[in-house]
Amino acid sequence: MTIPRQHQEYLSSLAITERIERSNANALTYQQQLQEFENQQRSRAYQLSDLNTKLADVESRLAQVSTIRSPYPGTVRRIRWLEQSEGTINAEITLRLGDPDPMPDRE
């Protein structure tokens, strides 16, 4: 028994339509994945920019931190943090006076 020609053409047309539909679905999936990737890239770029801004702010604040010099020659033995509030730090610093390096480099 042979399949009539019209039925064969119908089956062929149906197969072509299914392939086109799968191709369109694949193209749509690809476009969605590409859009998601681009969104992730934009989000990453924004986060990186935000971190760079915060880093610049921290570096600016560090540049404003004052340095305290001891009136005595020596080395720091211990730092005890007493209090920290806002931009102020209170600490107790214990110095070792005298020869700061008991074994100096002999060059």
Are both 60 and 72 inside the same structural domain? no
According to the model, what pLDDT value does residue 20 have? 97
Are both 71 and 61 inside the same structural domain? no
Predicted TM-score (pTM) of this structure? 0.49
Are both 4 and 47 inside the same structural domain? yes
107 belongs to a structural domain:
no
24 belongs to a structural domain:
yes
106 belongs to a structural domain:
no
Are both 59 and 71 inside the same structural domain? no
According to the model, what pLDDT value does residue 1 have? 63
pLDDT along the chain (107 residues), means of 10: 85 96 97 97 97 94 77 83 86 79 54
According to the model, what pLDDT value does residue 48 have? 96
Chain centroid, CA 66 distance in Å: 30
Strands 74-85 and 88-97: antiparallel
Per the structure, the complete domain to which residue 49 belongs is given by 1-65
Indicate the residue type of 100: P
According to the model, what pLDDT value does residue 51 have? 96
Are both 47 and 77 inside the same structural domain? no
